[in-house]
A and B are shown apart, each in its own frame.
Chain A
């Protein structure tokens, strides 16, 4: 059917048909999903806080995203007089552009083996066959911080500038554990291509998922990616209690909306990446094996991947109300003192296993050992803090009971 569609076009245009169709589908689905993720986030927040949440527009508040979108589009688009206009307008665009660009190398379904742009197979990825997919994603998402920095600087307000500075320090720091955490995967798979990492797990079945061999890397990746996306508990750059809205304080209407579109796209990308890199992608026992070829198996595989990603989106949104926001020194300490050394040690364990050709299952106890070791070191390192407490001169006639 798709082949007939392609053949309707002139010869020179045929290679462009499938990529354009994929881009249009991804873009539209992404926009729709993002708006409903906001509703989901509000509903989940309400549920976790024992409230009802939006329930007035449509049954169970289901049309709330439509109302939100209309509001954002129809609101007066204020550009304050004190801003740098060019950069102020450019910043939301950069935010959306970079996060959407990152999705180009993320497969969202079973990518066919021998893909050509004219044979009518749906590619399930915008840019197939990129060998350095992971590096590409890190490169593009590291550019996403420009949207925040420029928005914060161009707004010419103290809250925005503070938020932007926090964001720049945070993103530069968390890029390192993010990149380091997948080096182990690349070593195990022998490739940096996301499609190849997925296929290897899919061929190996559920016991071949990378989560069994790289659980620590998964945790590090997830945490660092959340920090890159500026999601709670890492959202110090928007930190409503201190900075009003952080870098987007001076933004309104659809420009503000674009920032959030960027953030939600980032969340979707993270969820897809986590489920693809560590949880086998579209593979699921019995219903979606790499050998399953029944009618509609492609659809099932897509649905499996979507379900996994949806699960991670839920986790991300529930984390928001589970872990309180870090202090800035804790944030930096977590990246430099915990995640980066752990990620490095994790790479070392993979190297040991590869060098001495041990069974890959050795990686599971090794990762657990690293995790427990880090926990032990963590509890030990709080000791000086306890000691400092006792060293505080106790007033001989003070009322201790009131001090606590």
Chain B
């Protein structure tokens, strides 16, 4: 009980957010959507104390709110929109907004490559499939209704809650007033072996270079070489598997 009281500030917005998303999910019955919207706004406002960035300069904070707000709101819209095409578009906007956050945290290459891969390729493929399956105007009910709205959103909010609690452990509300200076340029402490590698350090004269292509490449192909090669191999196997699974032309494709 004590724990619940202590963490009221997180539990109430999480519950409100869950209610809002569940309420906004498309259904057959007419619901006043404004109620869900109000609940969502209330949840965001309560969480705001935790999510506010530390006091920084005005432009940075403004951009942060622009990108973060867009990301959260469009993510909600993506889940609750009735039309799959609009959902895919909101997803594209979520990706763009998150890339804006990457840029703010001086990771331009991550931002650009996320745009190329997600917004430029994956969501375009989604759109391709949706267009094949569903023409504008015609609507099939199975595409427009969630199967388990309450349970699915509960699961998602449990995950979100776990994330927020972890963040709180790391600083959260109490650590908020710490000055906004990246201490080593990393969010999580590096393993000792990697921290000792001179290649993965930002040059002393230009600490902003930590997110640049040069440092990123050195880190990926120096410290994390094994993981990178492993991921590449898994992708290659997946590609070969996809080609093997696809029917031959002689067997009649499509």
Contacts and interface: CB of A to CB of B under 8 A. Distances in A.
A48 interface: no
A140 B120 CA distance: 8
Contact of B121 (A83, A132, A150, A172): A172
Interface of A: 82-84, 87, 130-132, 135-136, 138-140, 142-143, 145-146, 149-150, 152-154, 156, 161, 164-165, 168-169, 171-172, 175, 179, 192
A135 B127 contact: no
A161 B132 CA distance: 9
Contacts of B213: 131-132, 135, 192
A169 B128 CA distance: 8
Contacts of B125: 168, 172
A139 B113 CA distance: 7
9 contacts: A132-B213, A139-B112, A139-B116, A142-B119, A146-B92, A149-B128, A165-B132, A172-B120, A175-B121
A146 B121 CA distance: 11
Nearest to A142: B120
B212 A131 contact: yes
Contact of B116 (A82, A135, A146, A161): A135
Contacts of A84: 136-137
Contact of B131 (A132, A136, A164): A164
B115 A139 contact: yes
B116 A179 contact: yes
Contact of B127 (A139, A142, A149, A192): A149
A156 B136 contact: yes
Nearest to B134: A153
A175 B116 contact: yes
Given A131-B213, A140-B115, A153-B131, 5 more contacts: A139-B112, A156-B137, A165-B128, A168-B125, A168-B131
A142 B136 contact: no
Nearest to B86: A87
Contacts of A130: 108
A138 B108 CA distance: 13
Contacts, number: 81
A153 B212 contact: no
Interface of B: 85, 89, 92, 108-109, 111-113, 115-116, 119-121, 124-125, 127-128, 131-132, 135-137, 212-213
Contact of A154 (B92, B121, B132, B136): B136
A225 to B, nearest CB: 15
A132 B108 contact: yes
A70 B124 CA distance: 35
B109 A139 contact: no
A172 B108 contact: no
Nearest 6 A/B pairs, CB to CB: A142-B120, A139-B115, A135-B112, A156-B136, A139-B112, A168-B128
A142 B212 contact: no
B13 to A, nearest CB: 31
A164 B85 CA distance: 14
Contacts of A169: 128
Contact of B119 (A143, A153, A171, A192): A143
Contacts of B120: 138-139, 142-143, 145, 172, 175
B109 A153 contact: no
Nearest to B85: A153
Contacts of A138: 112, 116, 120
Contacts of B89: 87, 150
B133 to A, nearest CB: 11
B234 to A, nearest CB: 19
B116 A168 contact: no
